[in-house]
Chains A and B, each alone.
Chain A
Amino acid sequence: MEYQTIIAQLPYTPPFLFVDGLTAVDLNGVSGFYTFKKEADFYRGHFKDNPITPGVLLTECCAQIGLVCLGIYLVTSSNTLSNEALQIALTSSEMEYYLPVYPDEKVYVTSEKIYFRFHKLKCKVKMHNAAGKLVCKGTIAGMLKSKTNE
């Protein structure tokens, strides 16, 4: 499957799309990247006169690439669900943060599937910066369901 096809199926749009591209995807995991644009509105408030990417958005970026992109791939490649009716819900995240991400920094997310069963996808995710240093890592899980499958 083309990477662009997966991204086109994401249920997000700017300013809340945190995926620029994918570099690998298979049944066991996914890799992708995103650059946090310096024009983003949240930098005006996080923090005052000291723009740093909020940790929740690092988590969101990990979830959009690591969980949702992988989920779309798994669901469409198994052909059991019609991806058009895909419903997604984040159900748990446990993250640890190591380094700040500044405006215009590019980050790389890698995700490894722990399991995908009974509509629940659970993944180990890691984010690295352009220097290859670990920015954050953790475990994220979500439910992926289609209305037609219920």
Chain B
Amino acid sequence: METEERYQKLKEIITIYLPEDVAISELTNESHFINELNINSANLVDIVLDVEDAFDITLENEDMDQMLTVNNALQIIQNKLDAK
């Protein structure tokens, strides 16, 4: 799976959980889920569960703790896919 394809897939998932006051056009690789995208910790769990399904991977509590930005998420996805 190419990097761009992974990014698009992740972006589709994030879009579902974005609050109404945040536009998807504001999303960048550096976006902080909680501080910038206004996603609460409960919705961040939903994003992780959707990511697990979409990429057929399993995340651990440590991964969750590190998943602060879009870049972090992409890195975790790549590490999990590489380890498969």
Binding site for B on A (CB under 8 A): 91-92, 115, 117-120, 141-143
Contact = CB atoms under 8 A, between A and B. Distances in A.
A118 B40 contact: no
Contacts of B40: 91
Interface of B: 40-43, 45-46, 48-49, 61, 64
A115 B45 CA distance: 11
Interface of A is mostly: strand
Contacts of B46: 120
B41 A143 contact: yes
15 contacts: A91-B40, A91-B41, A91-B42, A91-B43, A115-B49, A118-B45, A118-B48, A118-B61, A119-B41, A119-B45, A120-B41, A120-B42, A120-B45, A141-B42, A142-B42
Nearest to A115: B49
